[in-house]
Structure 1
Amino acid sequence: MDNSLSYRRDTADALLRCALEDLTLLYHRRSGQTHMVISPVPELLDRMADGAPVTAHLLHDRLAQEFDLGPPGEALAEIAAHLAALAALGLVRPA
């Protein structure tokens, strides 16, 4: 995965969110699809809420302020993989 790619989240009203214990339902208005996700997806999307483009490195820095992410190389690879998967679903887009 390329950790230097930038992604942007749609505006806050593009996704409706409903938390059900450890599961979060995301309704994507543009596609009309509902996605069931678990951590760390809600946390990633929360740290992208300002709408500015972010990279895996920037998200890692933001998440590391609150969570123990483990070895940086592994965490960066996981974050980059999640961003690519979210882009494939249309929940974020390349910037």
Structure 2
Amino acid sequence: MDAIKAYRRDARDDMTACALDDLLLLYHHRSGQTHMVISPVPEILAQMADGAALTAPDLHDRLARDFDLGPRDDAVAEIGAHLDTLVALGLVRPA
């Protein structure tokens, strides 16, 4: 995970969400795929909704306003891992 790498979610990555208990189903319109995700993925995607290019530390700072994320370095590494997975799924892009 490269903490300096920036990611973005843009209009081409429009999704429709449906909550089912602790799961969130995301239908990705461009790919036609539905993804099942759990926290913290919905929270990460919500923080990226403005389309700004964000790094894992940027997202940590945004998420830390509402959540206790524990030690910063550990949380940034976890957020970075989630971002890399979201890139692999096509839900966010490297900026």
Quick check: TM above 0.5? yes
Amino acid at match of 1:75: A
Task: Quote how far apart the aligned CAs of 1:10 are.
Answer: 2.3
Mark the runs of 5 or more structure 1 residues left unpaired by the alignment. none
**Hey, what's the Cα distance between the residues in 2 that align with 1:10 and 1:16?**
14
Task: Quote how far apart the aligned CAs of 1:14 are.
Answer: 1.1
Superimposed CA distance per residue, residues 54-77 of structure 1 (whole angstroms, 9 cap, x where no aligned partner):
000100000000100001110000
**Hey, what's the Cα distance between the residues in 2 that align with 1:11 and 1:19?**
21
Amino acid at match of 1:79: I
- Residue in 1 aligned with 2:59? 59
- TM-score, length of structure 2 as denominator length: 0.96
- Deviating beyond 3 angstroms after TM superposition, the runs of 4 or more aligned structure 1 residues are none
- Residue in 2 aligned with 1:37? 37
- Residue in 1 aligned with 2:80? 80
Mark the runs of 5 or more structure 2 residues left unpaired by the alignment. none
- Residue in 1 aligned with 2:71? 71
Superimposed CA distance per residue, residues 15-55 of structure 1 (whole angstroms, 9 cap, x where no aligned partner):
01111111000000111100000000000000001001000
Task: Check if 1:26 corresponds to 2:26.
Answer: yes
**Hey, what's the Cα distance between the residues in 1 that align with 2:33 and 2:58?**
28
Q: Identity rate of aligned residues, in percent?
A: 68
- TM-score, length of structure 1 as denominator length: 0.96
**Hey, what's the Cα distance between the residues in 2 that align with 1:66 and 1:12?**
28
Root-mean-square deviation over aligned CA pairs: 1.2
**Hey, what's the Cα distance between the residues in 1 that align with 2:29 and 2:52?**
20
Task: Check if 1:48 corresponds to 2:53.
Answer: no
